[in-house]
Amino acid sequence: MKGANIRKSIRITFEEAVFGCKKELEVILKDPCTTCGGTGAKPGTSPETCPKCGGKGQVVYTSQSFFGTVQNVQTCPNCGGSGKVIKEKCTSCSGTGYTSSKKKIEVTIPAGIDNGQSVRIREKGEPGTNGGPRGDLLVEVNVSRHPIFQRQDMHIFSTVPISFAQAALGGDVKIQTVDGAVIYNVKPGTKTDTKVRLKGKGVPSLRNSAVRGDHYVTLVIQTPEKLSAEAKEALRRFDELSGNSLHQNDSNPEKSEKKTKRKGFMDKVKEAFEGEE
């Protein structure tokens, strides 16, 4: 009969889960006792046939009921189902036939594995009985949280802050991915919470590592908290040019006429900031 499986857990980083890695795991494994050869009997002796079950490993109990004779088959309590009993036990293994020792096993974590999934390593579990194979070692993978990235299936999500000027005028911003930093050109007039898709920058498929998901980036406009006097004046000029200033005198017909003829939004933004140079 095949031996029981052994369950262990291991912790890896977000990047290790994406690209795969190798880890060393320490496991206590049982091996046949070298003193008795795995019989469990003292050297020079041998296990004997169980007198209770006659070597069958099972006993049959018979009882009478209203419906007649009932037979109940159970594991032999004397030999534990092995059909053998040991009168003189091996002192090295205390009659179990096995000795335990710590062993280091290399675990190959495949690229694309997700939190809570397991890796099976065959025949690294408990020994089998009556010549059966060993069980397996099941390693559950726990993936640590990342300070920037979140994951959903094969896709990665992150948030990137951009300045008010970058959103209004456009420009290059640096976006961190699991493959390293990439430069993305922000379009003029970008609104906050704009979604950007970086194709093929996500998590590889477990079935085919050449196939990868995408990385979705949310651009968030940051409102400046500390401004110099020069920067404040530039923003005031922009506010006036955009026609949103509360200090404008709407009763002035000349200004009202100018409001109807004012330039496009992006032209005024550029004019406001370029005027400070």
* Domain parsing of the chain, residue ranges: 150-221, 229-274
Distance CA 228, CA 223 (A): 14
pLDDT of residue 247: 56
The pTM of this model reads 0.72
- 105, 10 Cβ separation under 8 angstroms: no
- Three-class SS state of 110: coil
Distance CA 252, CA 245 (A): 14
Maximum alpha-carbon separation in the chain: 118
pLDDT of residue 245: 60
CB atoms near residue 199 (< 10 Å): 9
Q: What is the topology classification, in CATH, of domain 150-221?
A: HSP40/DNAj peptide-binding domain (2.60.260)
277 residues of the chain, pLDDT tens digit each: 898 999 999 999 999 999 999 999 999 999 999 999 888 999 999 999 999 999 998 999 888 877 788 889 999 999 888 888 999 999 999 998 899 999 999 999 999 999 999 999 999 999 887 778 999 999 999 999 999 999 999 999 999 999 888 998 999 999 999 999 999 999 999 999 999 999 999 999 999 999 999 999 999 998 877 878 888 887 788 777 776 665 555 545 555 454 444 455 555 555 555 544 4
Q: Which of 152, 176, 174 is nearest to 162 (CA)?
A: 174
Distance CA 172, CA 166 (A): 8
pLDDT of residue 241: 75
Sign (positive or negative) of CA dihedral 176, 182, 183, 189: negative
